[in-house]
């Protein structure tokens, strides 16, 4: 059998330790499929003596993980530290600069620096692979990059954050409010102590920008992702959506349009959507991820599975290592980095949609008339309006509106007209229907 693929592994959290366990447990199977063994030769982490449930004695220890790429006995560096900058980025640059292949699960680093790193990998003639950066164990990057290579992708969208999906589906099944379910998710380990990246949509936006680059041949443009999280949702919104035949899911969606100058523009959005019960994404619950890609010849493809966790993420990392062991260098974003198109951010105002609007308003005469007048003046056609009960003394009542299809700009204008109104207890919530 050929010489082993020699691996330096930075980061020994749950995923890093999982990679070592997987290689040890399935070593013979992996070697047979890869054509050569995978051999971890060096490791690095912040704490050397922490008990991680794996025996690290066979491996060389590096206190400075950024120096791992300089080792002569290393063919590929695996970065599982995280963070868009700092030591992770330094290690990535060092590895590619030393003509070493790089495997990473770091979606933030790829979203912010993927174009630079892809250019470095191509110049060095080595692999840059990041299957584990998006949707954990689901091979969606490989599916887009290889399985749909003959297709023009028309749209890519899906549930990209398991924490948010767990929270929303639990709110749906229990009737509890966001704060209570978030606390439970933290206790169960589904949410971080600081859940901001998850619940405010940033994690999903990182992943969406990577998928959009691969799907449309665009330069990765994370800053242009329109992002809104789930922290403003109430149990009453979940209940109202159910009554209308929908569930609420945090969806990332991307497609391209032709701009005013004839050049392609890129639409990227992460926000809560009302998803009809008949749609496959409505049945995705718990911490599961699912991605839909629509190709002009393949039709609609659904990738679904565990979006995080030790086993699934380690599986994706090792799958990338197997590809490298087989000699698969490939192109990180399907086409050369220099050919990725810089696309301007699409103007969403003309996009046609139906919307769900929730208002928390003072319980007094004339409030409904004020809201409907703003809708009329902005050109928004109302399909239905529901007022939920009466407020307690000094409280607020909830008013829900579902619109007919119309340009997004009209709804934006209606919200502008109501801005500063003393009738509104808090800013309106606007969700689109998928």
**Distance, CA of 173 to CA of 163 (rounded, Å):** 15
Q: Which two tokens stand for residue 409?
A: 């700009």
Catalytic residue selected from 107, 129, 142, 207: 207
**Distance, CA of 198 to CA of 194 (rounded, Å):** 9
* Rounded alpha-carbon distances, angstroms, from residue 382 to 336, 369, 376, 406: 48, 13, 9, 10
Q: Which two tokens stand for residue 226?
A: 């329109």
Q: Which two tokens stand for residue 265?
A: 């523009």
Q: Which two tokens stand for residue 195?
A: 């859940």
| First-to-last C-alpha distance (Å) of the chain | 52
Write the CB contacts of 135 (distance below 8 Å, at least 6 apart in sequence): 158, 160, 207, 289, 291, 303, 305, 307
Please confirm, yes or no, whether 142 is among the known catalytic residues.
Answer: no
Note whether 97 and 124 are within 8 A (CB).
yes
Note whether 77 and 91 are within 8 A (CB).
yes
**Distance, CA of 415 to CA of 349 (rounded, Å):** 13
- Kind and range of the H or E run holding 119: helix 107-124
* Rounded alpha-carbon distances, angstroms, from residue 74 to 60, 77, 100, 158: 11, 7, 8, 37
**Strands in 52-203 per DSSP E:** 60-61, 76-79, 101-104, 128-129, 153-159
- Write out the catalytic residue numbers: 207
């Amino acid at each position: 059998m050929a010489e082993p693929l020699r691996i330096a592994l930075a980061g020994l959290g749950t995923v890093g330790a999982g990679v070592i366990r997987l290689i040890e447990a399935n070593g013979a199977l992996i070697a047979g499929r890869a054509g050569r063994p995978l051999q971890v030769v060096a490791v690095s982490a912040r704490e050397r003596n922490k008990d991680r449930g794996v025996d690290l004695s066979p491996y060389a220890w590096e206190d400075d993980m950024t120096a791992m790429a300089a080792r002569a006995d290393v063919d590929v560096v695996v970065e599982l530290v995280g963070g868009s900058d700092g030591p992770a980025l330094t290690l990535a640059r060092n590895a590619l600069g030393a003509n070493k292949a790089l495997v990473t699960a770091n979606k933030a680093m790829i979203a912010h620096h993927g174009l630079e790193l892809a250019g470095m990998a191509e110049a060095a003639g080595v692999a840059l692979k990041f299957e584990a950066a998006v949707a954990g164990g689901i091979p969606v990057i490989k599916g887009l990059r290889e399985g749909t290579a003959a297709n023009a992708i028309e749209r890519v969208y899906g549930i990209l954050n398991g924490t948010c999906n767990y929270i929303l589906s639990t709110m749906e099944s229990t009737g509890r409010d966001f704060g209570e379910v978030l606390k439970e998710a933290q206790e169960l380990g589904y949410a971080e102590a600081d859940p901001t990246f998850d619940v405010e949509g940033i994690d999903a936006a990182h992943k969406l920008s990577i998928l959009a680059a691969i799907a449309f041949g665009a330069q990765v443009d994370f800053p242009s992702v329109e992002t809104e999280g789930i922290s403003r949702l109430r149990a009453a919104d979940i209940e109202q959506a159910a009554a209308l035949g929908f569930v609420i899911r945090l969806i990332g969606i991307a497609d391209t349009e032709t701009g005013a100058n004839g050049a392609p523009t890129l639409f990227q959005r992460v926000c809560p959507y009302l998803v009809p019960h008949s749609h496959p994404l409505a049945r995705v619950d718990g911490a599961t991820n699912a991605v839909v890609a629509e190709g002009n010849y393949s039709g609609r493809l659904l990738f679904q599975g565990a979006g995080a966790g030790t086993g699934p993420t380690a599986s994706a990392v090792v799958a990338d290592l197997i590809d490298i062991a087989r000699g698969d260098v490939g192109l990180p974003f399907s086409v050369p980095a220099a050919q990725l198109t810089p696309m301007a951010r699409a103007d969403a105002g003309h996009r046609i949609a139906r919307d769900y609007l929730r208002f928390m308003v003072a319980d007094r005469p004339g409030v409904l008339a004020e809201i409907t007048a703003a809708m009329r003046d902005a050109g928004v056609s109302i399909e239905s309006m529901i007022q939920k009960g009466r407020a307690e003394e000094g409280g607020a009542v909830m008013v829900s509106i579902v619109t007919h299809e119309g340009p997004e700009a009209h709804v934006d204008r209606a919200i502008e007209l109501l801005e500063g109104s003393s009738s509104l207890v808090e800013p309106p919530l606007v969700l689109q229907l998928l």
